Structure formats: C-alpha cells, structure tokens
Structure 1
Amino acid sequence: MSARKRIVPARALDLVLVVLVAPLALPLLAVLAGLVRLVDGAPVFHMAERMRTPTRSFRLYKLRTMRVAAEATGVLGGDRADQVTRLGRVLRRTRLDEVPQLWNILRGDMGFVGPRPPERLYVARCPELYARVLRDRPGLTGLATLVFHRHEERLLAACRTAAETDAVYMRRCVPRKARLDLVWQRRATACGELWLLARTVGGVVWRRPSPGRAGRRRAPPRP
C-alpha cells in the first residue's frame, strides 16, 4: 500500500478481512437491498466511475440513495441535499450505502484503507496532486475520512449553489484530504489499518448529529 515495508501485505490483509466480514455483510446487504427496492424502487444499486490511478478508472458500487433522475457527478452539497431520499439519508449517515464496495475490494479495485477514490473530474483538475495520492490503492476508509469527514460535511452542507459547492470542495476539502492521505501513505502499517477500521466503525455506531445541524436538508456529501 505504501513504499514502507510491511509485515502483512495490504492485499493479503484485505482478502482476509473480506472473508471474515462476508458472513455478516452478505445477509445485511440482502436486507438493505430489499429495503431500498421496497421503499425507493429500482434500481437498487448505483454504479459510479471512480479513479484507481490517475489514468485508470473502475465502477464503484453503492446502494442507491438519491432519486433516480438526480444522480450527477460531483460532490453533494446543500444545493442538492433534497435529492437524497429519506432512506438514503439514513444509509449515508451510517455509511451502509457502501456495503456493496466489498465487491470492489474483492476485485482489487480498492482496499479497506486508503484515500477515498476520486471522480475523474477532480483528478483532471489536480493531476499532480492525485498522481501522489493515488500511489496508494483507494480505500473504503482512511485517515482523511476519519479526521476530516465531519468537517467536510459541515462545509458542503452550507453551500446553496452548485458553483459554491464546487468551489468550496476544490479550495477547502481537496488539499486538506490530500495532505492527510499523504501522511498515511508514509506511515501505513497493518496495525494502523486495523486501528483506522475500528475507529471508523466506532464513529458510525456512536455518531450523533451536531447541535443545530440535524435539519432535513443535511446529508453526508461524499464524492
């Protein structure tokens, strides 16, 4: 995963973890997929292009959380929060919409820990930056996700136009997340990955809405 020598290769650790979580994740995914189909209709899954490297893309799988006609490129800000379904808000808040990404991990598109895979448009705008960040395989979670995600939510939830969302994300989110991803790239270890995963799960389980910010329009604006 990084240039640093590892006792346990990142890919081997990913495969072991997939085998361990699959007995719980597969029944959960079946229930969640059925719930999306029942409440919001078809399609159940959303496939989005994400970048594995600066030049190589893959299809990222999620449970659908937005209205069918509303799916679009770019991060989700306050200007598009009403496009998220009621069930989708719950799935995003708990990150259960990302359970299908176990398939991406099994395929080798991404790992459990690493930088969140960016959209092509952001890589095209910041090629030198993402050339460094994407030396690591993208991940389901990572240091930037753990440290910066809640602050990113607040920044983007306050945006009221697509132009403002784009400007805030490019100016205030992309550089900060990249710095954190590069810190992890230099210090990645197998024990560190397990710690990040545990902290991520703990953050989802114990997450509470910020006072005065739990309004109807709010939804986690992930790319």
Structure 2
Amino acid sequence: MAFFRVTTPETSTSWLAHSASNAGSASCTAPMNSTLAMERNSTQVLWPTARIRRGSTKRNTPLHERAIAALCLAASAPVLAVASAFIRRQSPGGPVLYRAERVGRGGRHFTMYKLRTMHVMPPNAPRLTARHDPRVFPAGRILRSTKVDELPQLWNVLNGDMRFFGPRPEDPAIVHNCYEPWMLESLDVPPGIVGPGSLSYFEDESRIPSDPGEAEHYYVTVQLPRKIARDLAYVRRRTPAYDLALAVRTVLGILGIRSQSFKSVRLETATEEQVLGAVRSRPGSSLPG
C-alpha cells in the first residue's frame, strides 16, 4: 500500500496560517492542516489536492458566460428593483445587498453578493441560517425559496469570480477550520451559482435544526461532507450536458419537484457513497455514519 506526502507551496502555508487566524471560528471535529499524509487507494476515490494558493488575478469565467450574465442581469433589473423595495420596507436600516467573503478557485478570496434576506445582526451572530430562523423577514423567505436572492451573483459571473455552474463557494472560516484534505479538490474549479452540493442542500433544508447554533454544527458535521462529496462528481466529470441538467434541476427544485431520475443525480449519489465510504474507513475518522 503506497503512501505519499502532500505539502502546500511555501506561499500557501503562510497564507493559510494568516487566513485561518482572521477567518473566525467554526465548530469542527477535523481541522485542516497544511501538511498531510494521505493514502492512495486503487480506485483513487480520494487523492490529495493541496493546491491552495494566494488569490490570483486570473479570472474564472469565459467570455460567453460573462455576456449571458450581463443580459440576465439587465433582464432581472425589474425583479431586483421590486425585491429591493420590499427589503427596505420590511427591514429598514440595513443594506439591500449582503456582501459575503467567500473562498473560490485555488483559495482566492472574493466578495459574493446576495439580496439581504435577514435582519441586520451583530457580527458574532451564527453564520448559518436555521430552519424557521426568526432573523429572516417575510419577504426574505420568499426571496430565499424562489432563489431570487441569488440574482446579484450574476455580477460575480460578469466580474469573473464565479461561473453559472460549479461548487458553491464557502465561508473562509469553514474552509480553514473545517475542510479535511479530500475536500480541497472542490477548489480545483471555479465556484458556481448552482452546483450538485447546493441542490442537495436545497432539497434537505427541512432537516436543518431550528436552533442557529445547532444548525451550524449540523451543517459542518453532516451536510458539508455530503455537499462536497456530491460536488466532486461535477469537478471530475463536468460537461455542457451536466450544466444543462443542473439548470433543469434548479428550476424543478424551485417548483418543489425532486429530480431523482436524472443521470447526474445517480452519478452524484454514487460519488458521495464512494468518497464518504473511503473517508469513514480511514483510521480516526470522525465522519458520522
């Protein structure tokens, strides 16, 4: 059985240490380390990707996607205007846009935009939204359920930070405190507005605890590994047909229709079982069964 060592580049090691110290905290059972020993298995279900590096100026989005994003942003302007009016009316005193720092391809930090759906809270408030979270105002619930709150991310696509399809970018605190080595593979591709992991999270929102603190713990210990494992199916096999399937599944999800018959769903389920099964089999794994 072969073992090999993976070490992040020297610049990345210092960046990780600096970022982790400034990213806040998250309750995780397995913090990420910059130097790790991992096992290569015959099926290559797991392999190391420690290509975290300081933010690059290279953009992730091809020109045709930026053009489509510009058209969609212009077309959605009336919807954004109406949504902004409801936000100002139901939650005055706060900004219309929610600006969230996220980690993208190769560990590059960027600002992701959303319509604000929650009342302004103190900085030490829980990062994740619980089921029936009282911080979400009525119009915000509608914006979240219809995914209208994600429309400002068209600007992120236009700006080259994101693509339409790909793994959803995570909060730096979660990346630096909660990611295990195998999860880093999800940072090999540009982040997206829609991805397999985010679709599964959208479908499983009813399982999120009502208490915000419990919701954060449930997310990082149960949902995060599942979400990233499913994203790896896309990372390893992304095609235009896969993108189309994700688009159709997103529309069906908004309409409340579960899309289990898609080939892409079966692929994601198989990848999740493979990856998480391999993780659980490793000595000292704390991943729930």
Shorter-chain TM-score above 0.5: yes
Larger radius of gyration: 2
What TM-score do you get using the length of structure 1 for normalisation?
Answer: 0.78
Residue in structure 2 matching 1:139, options 171, 192, 196: 192
- Deviation of the 1:70 alpha carbon: 5.3
Aligned to 1:119: 171
Q: What is the rounded CA distance, in whole Å, between the counterparts of 1:119 and 1:64 in structure 2? A: 16
8 A Cα contact 1:155 1:168, kept in partner: no
User: Which residue is equivalent to 1:62?
Assistant: 114
The alpha-carbon deviation at position 108 of structure 1 amounts to 1.0
Higher relative contact order (CA 8 A, sep 6+): 1
Provide structure 1 residue ranges, at least 5 long, that are not aligned to the other structure. 1-8, 209-223
Whole-angstrom distance in 2 between the partners of 1:161 and 1:17: 37
> In structure 2, how many angstroms separate the alpha carbons of the residues matched to 1:76 and 1:136?
26
Gaps of at least 5 residues in structure 2 are 1-59, 258-289
1:26 corresponds in structure 2 to 77
1:45 lines up with 2:97 in the alignment: yes
Distance 2:190 2:68 in 1: 16
Does residue 128 of the first structure (1) align with residue 178 of the second (2)?
no
Tell me the TM-score normalized by structure 2. 0.61
Which of structure 1's runs of 4+ aligned residues deviate more than 6 A? none
- Deviation of residue 131 (structure 1)? 2.0
Per-residue CA shift, 1:139-192, capped at 9, x if unaligned?
1111122234221x1221x24351x22321122111111111101111111222
CA contact (8 A) 1:18 1:102 kept: yes
**Who is 1:177 aligned against?**
227
SS of aligned partner of 1:81: coil
Percent identity over paired residues: 34
Question: What do you get for the CA RMSD once the two structures are aligned?
Answer: 2.3
**How far 1:22 moved relative to its partner?**
3.1
* Superposition deviation, residue 15 in structure 1: 2.0
Q: Which has the larger helix fraction?
A: 1
Aligned partner of residue 112 in structure 2, secondary structure: strand
Q: Which amino acid in 2 is paired with 1:179?
A: A
Deviates more, 1:115-124 or 1:186-195: 186-195
Task: Please give the alpha-carbon distance, in whole angstroms, between the structure 1 residues aligned to 2:107 and 2:245.
Answer: 31
Distance in 2 (alpha carbons) for counterparts of 1:54 and 1:61: 20
Q: Deviations over 1:12-51 (max 9, x none)?
A: 4422431442342122212211221233223211111111
